[in-house]
Chain A
Amino acid sequence: MLQAEVEETIKRIQSQKGVQGIIIVNAEGIPIKSTLDNSSTVQYAGNVHQLLMKARGVVRDIDPQNDLTFLRVRSKKNEIMIAPGKEIIQKPKQM
């Protein structure tokens, strides 16, 4: 995928019927990009980050060789889809 396609893809997903918003966060749960307003972004980012950490912990706890690949939170009114990136435990600082 090219850099230009990233923007296009975000727009395309956002415009699909039923999609309320897209948020991209980093490993600490800090939003990098969002199609929602600021307060919603912060609310979702904080909550989901915690949930993701917990879910990942569950999976790893049951089987340390396993890892979380996708999380879907289905509620009465809507659904949150969470696609985690690869977790890097440690990366040496580039000199």
Chain B
Amino acid sequence: MQPALEHQEEKDSQKEEEEAPPHELTEEEKQQILHSEEFVTFFDHSSRIVERALSEQVDVFFDYSGRDLQDKEGRHLSRLVTYPELLVASYSSNEDAPHEPDGVALVWNMKYKKTTPEYVFHCQSAVMSAAFAQFHPNLVVGGTYSGQIVLWDNRSNKRTPVQRTPLSASAHTHPVYCVNVVGTQNAHNLISISTDGKMCSWSLDMLPHLELVFKQSKSVAVTSMSFPLGDVNNFVVGSEDGSVYTACRHGSKAGISEMFEGHHGPITGLDCHTAAGPVDFSHLFVTSSFDWTVKLWSTKNNKPLYSFEDNSDYVYDVMWSPTHPALFACVDGVGHLDLWNLNNETEVPTASVTVEGNPALNRVRWAHSGREVAVGDSEGQVHIYDVGEQISVPRQDEWTRLRTLSKIQLNEVLQLWALKHIYSFSCSKSQCRGRTSGRLFACVDGVGHLDLWNLNNETEVQKSPRNII
């Protein structure tokens, strides 16, 4: 919402008459003033300030709870807005403050460098996953350790949830690591999966109630879940046993469909391809695991298409860029954030950064714009990285190049790129498991050394050693 602005200037009359000033000025007098040197000086100075003020993009008055958009009867005007600058992160308990509630979710605003969150939400049980409720900009959903799904509302004055699912055998009784809102504005559900493999589908429409409709799936210790682009029925889950399962929500074969084996350790992160373009890659997904690898899969094959083995520690999370079809980010337990561009190189990351102090990085999320990456670490910090244009912005041919995945060659790349650390948030020391909803906010990423791969020269491709800047 852009405020309508009116600009008013005031100036002193330079030629003040000694007799009582006229109540109105004649046209001649006005012109005289406007043409005087003093006026020009004043106007020169003031118009600069006003033009700068008019060009400001930032609106510090904005109320994310939408109270200022209520009409006279107090009804909320419908909005289909999303706030890409907001990020929600959930944290495990703070060892230094045992009296604080176990479950904490904080909403940070990335537009401003303030050190405090926009909203602070609590609950009694540790929050393992948090997301903005898509289509409901005021709501934040949390999946907790106890199995309860909680709903926070930024319009209420309380920090505690406004809605909770029952703690019963018909809902979840195991930690919920995955929550996701899928569907469209008029038909959407909240999907949650707990570590015993139970998937529940909740209705957010009949607010404030969460209506439960669920399907039982095979006993799978689910750690991560993702829906392919545009799909609300079929989805993919990764589990503790190192296998990937495809499943669907509805139909005669509701539940687990297939099992893909490949990882040698628990799967920590899973993400379906999201960058829409001329070629459909929605069957592709990536997984990260404790086995030090990231693997690329297709839902059409039960074996991985490719294995990325550059890491030397647990890989905790992986995510595709929302805009670039060949780009994904992954984070590991020793502070590395790696960006892989499959059109460039599949042996090593295209870009890499190490967070100072080498904390374990638990989560990585791309900004909706594809230009920023967010990383949450084990110290409770969330870091935001700006990704250089040369890496983050896809060219026209990226989709067709990716299609020849089976014959990946090393391509010559001329550019240097940079990952610049913008700023980092910090919180009291605690484990950080951050997550952003796919639609509403950007992600941040860590700081550290910058490794540059310098590939120059069109005829000769050199894999030069890492240059530290």
Contact = CB atoms under 8 A, between A and B. Distances in A.
Interface of A: 1-3, 6, 9, 12-13, 16-30, 32-33, 44-45, 48-49, 52, 70, 72, 74, 76-88, 91, 93-94
Nearest to A29: B10
Contacts of B53: 70, 72, 81
Contact of B9 (A22, A74, A79, A88): A22
A83 B9 contact: yes
B11 A85 contact: yes
B34 A30 contact: no
Q: Which of A3, A17, A24, A78 has the most CB of B within 10 A?
A: A24
B6 interface: yes
Given A74-B61, A83-B46, 15 more contacts: A1-B40, A6-B43, A12-B51, A23-B6, A23-B9, A25-B10, A26-B12, A26-B13, A30-B23, A30-B24, A48-B8, A79-B5, A81-B54, A83-B10, A87-B12
A85 B54 contact: no
A47 to B, nearest CB: 10
Closest 9 CB pairs of A and B: A83-B46, A1-B44, A85-B11, A78-B4, A27-B12, A26-B13, A85-B42, A20-B6, A23-B8
A26 to B, nearest CB: 4
19 contacts: A9-B43, A23-B6, A24-B43, A26-B11, A26-B25, A27-B10, A27-B12, A32-B25, A33-B34, A52-B10, A81-B8, A82-B8, A82-B9, A83-B9, A83-B10, A84-B10, A85-B9, A85-B12, A85-B42
B16 interface: yes
A51 B382 CA distance: 44
Nearest to B41: A1
Contacts of B40: 1-3, 6
B152 to A, nearest CB: 26
Contact of A91 (B9, B14, B25, B42): B14
Q: Report which residue of A23, A45, A79 has the largest number of chain B beta carbons within 10 angstroms of its beta carbon.
A: A79
Most B CB atoms within 10 A — which of A1, A85, A86?
A: A85
Contact of B34 (A32, A44, A45): A32
B10 A85 contact: yes
Interface in B349-399: none
A36 to B, nearest CB: 8
Given A33-B34, A85-B12, A93-B18, A44 B6 contact: yes
A42 B53 CA distance: 24
B2 interface: yes
B35 interface: yes
Contact of A19 (B7, B9, B16, B25): B7
Contacts of A52: 10
A82 B61 contact: no
A3 B36 CA distance: 9
A27 B46 contact: no
Nearest to B21: A28
B293 to A, nearest CB: 51
B33 A32 contact: yes
* Secondary structure call for the A interface: mixed
B146 to A, nearest CB: 42
A18 B1 CA distance: 10
A85 B33 CA distance: 13
B68 interface: yes
B6 A21 contact: yes
Nearest to A75: B3
Given A32-B30, A33-B34, A85-B46, A27 B8 contact: no
A13 B49 CA distance: 11
Contacts of A20: 4-6
Contacts of A93: 16-18
A21 to B, nearest CB: 5
B50 A74 contact: no
A25 B6 contact: no
A91 B21 CA distance: 14
B144 to A, nearest CB: 38
Contacts of A13: 7, 47, 50-51, 54
Given A20-B5, A77-B4, A86 B49 contact: no
Contacts of B6: 19-23, 44, 78-81
A80 B42 contact: no
Nearest to A82: B8
Nearest to A83: B46
A2 B183 CA distance: 60
Contact of A27 (B7, B13, B43, B68): B13
Interface in B29-80: 30, 33-35, 39-44, 46-47, 49-51, 53-54, 61, 68
A81 B5 contact: yes
A46 to B, nearest CB: 12
A16 B30 contact: no
Contacts of A25: 8-11
Contacts of B42: 85-86
A84 B12 CA distance: 8
Contact of B16 (A17, A77, A91): A91
B10 A86 contact: no
